[in-house]
Amino acid sequence: MEEIGYNSLVTCSNGAHDADTGTGSHAWVLASAVRGTMSSGSGTDDGHPDFMSGGILALLYIIYCICLYYDISSGKTVLYCDHKGAIGNSFKLAPPGITPFLNPDYYLLGLIHELVKLIPITVIGHWVKGHYKGRDRQW
């Protein structure tokens, strides 16, 4: 995983929720600027339809396992996601008080925050515009 050491590993997460069936899903991709897609996956997600943090959790756990397996202690990766709320809640400190406990994805966010602390490399959460249907693009 020399991509981590060279800061060229990029990851992406996306989630979806079907209101008719009440089910959710997430997908994730690990890619290299040089080698392209290296790994991808998807699965069910039982998070709140407004947040869908399961893909972020999956990616962080994979990054954590890679760092342990290859004994990686430095480097950087960017985790892209098209949901501002999920990225914001995952990569910022929870405010003190009861507010964090009221978040619909509290149990996922607790795991996400623990993994962010445990991962020995820098993981930067970055929002990207997704599902665009209009004329004026935002980058």
The answer to the question of residue 17 being in a domain is yes
- Span 93-110, mean pLDDT? 76
Give a yes or no: residue 133 inside a domain.
Answer: no
Most confident of 11-25, 41-55, 70-84: 70-84
CATH number of domain containing 100: 3.30.420.10
- Domains of the chain: total: 1
Which pLDDT does position 88 carry in this prediction? 85
Return the amino acid letter for 24: G
In a domain, 135, yes or no: no
Mean pLDDT of 3-9: 86
Q: Please identify which residue in the block is written with the tokens 């991962």.
A: 119
Position 65 in a domain: yes
Residue 62 has pLDDT above 60, yes or no: yes
Q: Is residue 132 part of a domain?
A: no
pLDDT tens-digit series, residues 79-89 = 999 888 888 88
* 77: pLDDT strictly greater than 60: yes
In this structure, are residues 40 and 29 in contact, taking their beta carbons and an 8 Å threshold? yes
Q: Does the residue 60 lie in any domain?
A: yes
Q: Indicate whether 64 pLDDT > 90.
A: yes
Assigned domain for 139 exists: no
Residue 58 belongs to domain spanning: 2-127
CA distance 73 to 81: 24
Answer whether residue 63 shows pLDDT above 90: yes
pLDDT at position 52 is 66
**64 token code pair:** 């954590």
Q: Mean pLDDT throughout 55-75? A: 94
What pTM did the predictor assign?
0.82
Beta bridge partners of 36: 32
Instruction: Give the C-alpha separation, 26 to 136, whole Å.
Output: 27
